[in-house]
Amino acid sequence: MDFKYVRLQGRENAYMTKYPKGIFGMCWRLLLDGKMSEADAEEFKAVDKWFVENLPEPEPCKKQEQVITFFKTTAAEMLKKTEPMTRLLEKYGQPYDAVYTNHVGTIIYEDEWQVAVRVENGRMI
């Protein structure tokens, strides 16, 4: 079966969305909690900077609306760029899952690499 979307997410819920935290939020939490070494923090910041410069930030995310994002499985370059983050999560013992799906609810934002969907009480709408 071919899937359209993938989300790299943890196993604990984000405060705002009540949906499992995404990979970026998980890595930022490790950094902000002082759990990453200085070298690992710099590596993550460099990866995050690359995404900020190369992946559009959906308007609903900028407005801090209750949304989550999925990569399109066709976005191979973007997915490859997440590998340093998954290595860091593994290094620091943070479980995560790659969730592949064709069902993401109602898409409220879409670009070449990703989609955003609204969530409410931990469920996609």
pTM of this structure: 0.92
pLDDT tens-digit profile of 70-98?
999 999 999 999 999 999 999 999 999 99
Domains of the chain: total? 1
Instruction: Show Cβ contacts of residue 108 under 8 Å, excluding neighbours closer than 6 positions.
Output: 60, 67, 116, 117, 118
In Å, how far from its chain's centre is CA 40? 18
pLDDT tens-digit profile of 29-59?
999 999 999 999 999 999 999 999 999 999 8
Domain span at residue 85 reads 5-124
